[in-house]
Amino acid sequence: MEAENYDSDASERPHALAVDDEVTIHGVLERIFPREGIQVTTCSSGTDALELIDEHDFDVLLADAQMPEMGGMELVERVSEEYPHLDIVLLSTQGNVQQAVRAMQKGAADYIPKPFSTDELVDRGKSVLEKQQAAAPA
């Protein structure tokens, strides 16, 4: 399992897990999220993501819908069942309403069609994190 940039000393910052089989996306996410005060760990498959979620505490999961082995929709289902506290943002090249609705029904907190701007991804990720903080008991 390949996990990039896990920083166990950054416990005060929100922590995102990004899973995408396109490794070029990892570098982009590893640059933009820390600038916004969000720690990010990246991996390339749904099975790696499940192992990491089991081992570490994450605040949000960013998952590509189209991946070999385990697709993002299956990952959404598994994470929603096994880790209901973890909010999921599904990223997809199939930007259609039906897939977005299915993702939300299966437990995704948000759905972002690809291609997206880095600003949009950061804004939507931060929005999910802000909703979590607002819902957390004081």
Residue 7: inside a domain: no
Strands of 110-113's sheet, edge to edge? Answer: 39-43, 15-19, 60-64, 87-92, 110-113
Task: Look at the chain and report how many structural domains it folds into.
Answer: 1
Residue 9: band (very low, low, confident or very high) from pLDDT cuts 50, 70, 90: low
Residue 38 has pLDDT above 90, yes or no: yes
Residue 93: inside a domain: yes
Residue 5: inside a domain: no
Q: For position 1, what pLDDT does the model report?
A: 52
Interval 66-88 mean pLDDT: 92
Residue 138 has pLDDT above 90, yes or no: no
Residue 1: inside a domain: no
Note whether 29 and 62 are within 8 A (CB): yes
Residue 96 has pLDDT above 80, yes or no: no
Residue 108: inside a domain: yes
Residue 72 has pLDDT above 60, yes or no: yes
Residue 31: inside a domain: yes
Residue 102: inside a domain: yes
Tell me the residue range of the domain where 73 lies: 15-130
Note whether 89 and 107 are within 8 A (CB): no
Q: What is the CATH number of the domain that holds 109?
A: 3.40.50.2300
Q: For position 7, what pLDDT does the model report?
A: 53
Share of the chain above pLDDT 70, in %: 91
> pTM of this prediction?
0.86
Between CA 121 and CA 123 the distance in angstroms is 6
Residue 65: inside a domain: yes
Task: Give the strand pairing for 15-19 and 39-43.
Answer: parallel
Most confident of 39-53, 94-108, 118-132: 39-53
